[in-house]
A and B are shown apart, each in its own frame.
Chain A
Amino acid sequence: MKRTAAGLPLAYRLAVASRSLAALLGGYLLASLANVALALLTPISQVDAALLGMMLSFLVYLLAFIWCFACRSAWRAWAGVLAPSALLAVIAGLAYGMQTP
Chain B
Amino acid sequence: MLSVALLGYAGFAALCLAMEKHFKELLKHSPRGVHLRSLRWAGWALLLASLVLAVHLRGWAHGLVEWIALLMAGVTLWVFMLPYRPRWLLGLAAVSVVLGPLLGLASLMR
> Within 8 Å by CB, do A and B touch in the complex?
no
Residue numbers of B with Cβ under 8 A of A are none
Residue numbers of A with Cβ under 8 A of B are none
